[in-house]
């Protein structure tokens, strides 16, 4: 049980823990590994989605801090702490950076708070991204984030877990209206490939969690209405401003992505 009274249920799979397992983490249970193994065994190569997404997030946070005045972030649906979390990347470039992490999974809360107990510029709160006002008015958010100054809003691999009838557009619009000009929005999202791999991966997620919505580039762009989508636009996460020093192809030019790497897109947008 966590300090807010919520129980960690080891009998039901958690999206955050399955993702942790796919990334090679150890904060997961047998029920999570069972789902993760479906991807590893029946959908070989699909684990590349998780790694491509995480790498794009790392590059985006570094880019925001290096090229703008943003020094505060809200990471919505953050998942379990792993290597190069948002605060670690941001504080590496600007130690004064502040981050509020948000997730519904009680295990995320336990591990996040343990990791960050000595970091007074970071908070972990348990809240549902589908209720953005709960996040906005949470005491930890109001204490750490100054909404009169630009904010980095992170939707890393979370909006595809918001079904159409749960109004993902309204969630992004809410945050767009809360933050001032000069704020940044990072979004990574399952990208519809109109192929057997997409259909099977979507089926597994919907069957297991009742959510997991692949969207086209146009649908992803529509979630960012009112924002300026920066170069290179909405592209496969592996191709979002890749670092030549850390890519398989180095400086020799782009390689052909796997079918799985095409199925996770990334984009960075700015509020004018």
Give the helix/strand (H/E) hosting 236: strand 235-236
Q: Are strands 72-76 and 152-156 parallel, antiparallel or unpaired?
A: parallel
Q: How far apart are CA 216 and CA 197, in angstroms?
A: 15
Residue 133 maps to a domain:
yes
Q: Helical H runs in the chain?
A: 15-22, 30-42, 48-67, 86-93, 106-116, 132-137, 139-144, 168-178, 196-209, 217-223
Nearest to 84 by CA among 109, 110, 114, 61: 61
CA distances from 204 to 12, 42, 115, 232 (A): 15, 10, 31, 31
pTM recorded for the entire structure: 0.83
Q: What is the pLDDT of residue 33?
A: 85
Q: What is the pLDDT of residue 252?
A: 40
pLDDT tens-digit map of 147-206? 999 999 999 999 998 999 999 999 999 999 999 999 999 999 989 877 777 777 777 767
The label of the residue with tokens 């519809």 reads: 192
pLDDT tens-digit map of 239-269? 999 987 655 444 444 667 887 788 899 999 9
Q: Are strands 152-156 and 122-126 parallel, antiparallel or unpaired?
A: unpaired
Position 106 pLDDT exceeds 50: yes
State what percent of residues in the chain have pLDDT above 70: 85
Picking from 55-64, 132-141, 192-201, which range would have the lowest pLDDT averaged per residue? 192-201
Q: What angle separates helix 30-42 from helix 196-209, to the nearest 10 degrees?
A: 170
Position 130 pLDDT exceeds 90: yes
3-state secondary structure of 244: helix
Confidence class for position 3, pLDDT limits 50, 70, 90: very low
Tally of structural domains, the chain: 1
Residue 138 maps to a domain:
yes
Q: How far apart are CA 118 and CA 261, in angstroms?
A: 36
Average of per-residue pLDDT across 13-35: 75
Q: What is the pLDDT of residue 260?
A: 79
Confidence class for position 2, pLDDT limits 50, 70, 90: very low
- Full residue range of the structural domain in which residue 255 is found: 15-270
CATH number of the domain where residue 127 is located: 3.40.50.150
- Which positions ≥6 away from 30 have C-beta within 8 Å? none
Picking from 29-33, 63-67, 78-82, 259-263, which range would have the lowest pLDDT averaged per residue? 78-82
Residue 248 maps to a domain:
yes
Residue 8 maps to a domain:
no
State what percent of residues in the chain have pLDDT above 90: 53
Q: What is the pLDDT of residue 249?
A: 42
Residue 10 maps to a domain:
no
Average of per-residue pLDDT across 113-138: 88
Position 51 pLDDT exceeds 90: no
Residue 224 maps to a domain:
yes
Residue 196 maps to a domain:
yes
Q: How far apart are CA 101 and CA 35, in angstroms?
A: 25
Residue 26 maps to a domain:
yes
């Amino acid at each position: 049980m966590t300090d807010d009274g919520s129980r960690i249920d080891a009998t039901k799979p958690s999206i955050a823990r399955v993702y942790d397992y796919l990334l090679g983490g150890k904060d997961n249970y047998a029920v999570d590994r069972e789902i993760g193994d479906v991807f590893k065994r029946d959908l070989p190569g699909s684990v590349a989605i998780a790694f491509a997404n995480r790498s794009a997030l790392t590059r985006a946070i570094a880019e925001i801090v290096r090229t703008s005045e943003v020094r505060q972030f809200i990471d919505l649906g953050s998942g379990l702490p792993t290597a190069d979390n948002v605060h670690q990347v941001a504080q590496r470039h600007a130690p004064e950076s502040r981050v509020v992490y948000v997730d519904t999974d009680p295990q995320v809360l336990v591990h996040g708070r343990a990791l960050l107990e000595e970091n007074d510029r970071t908070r972990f709160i348990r809240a549902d991204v589908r209720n953005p006002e709960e996040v906005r008015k949470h005491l930890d958010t109001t204490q750490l984030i100054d909404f009169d100054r630009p904010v980095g809003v992170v939707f890393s691999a979370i909006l595809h877990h918001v079904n159409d009838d749960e109004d993902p557009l309204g969630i992004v619009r809410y945050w767009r209206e809360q933050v001032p000009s000069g704020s940044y929005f990072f979004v990574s999202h399952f990208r519809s490939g109109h192929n057997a791999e997409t259909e099977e991966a979507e089926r597994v997620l919907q069957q297991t969690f009742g959510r997991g919505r692949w969207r086209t580039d146009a649908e992803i762009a529509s979630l960012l209405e009112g924002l300026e989508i920066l170069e290179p636009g909405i592209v496969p996460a592996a191709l979002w401003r890749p670092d030549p020093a850390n890519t398989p192809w180095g400086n020799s030019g782009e390689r052909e992505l796997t079918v799985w790497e095409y199925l996770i897109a990334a984009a960075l947008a700015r509020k004018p």
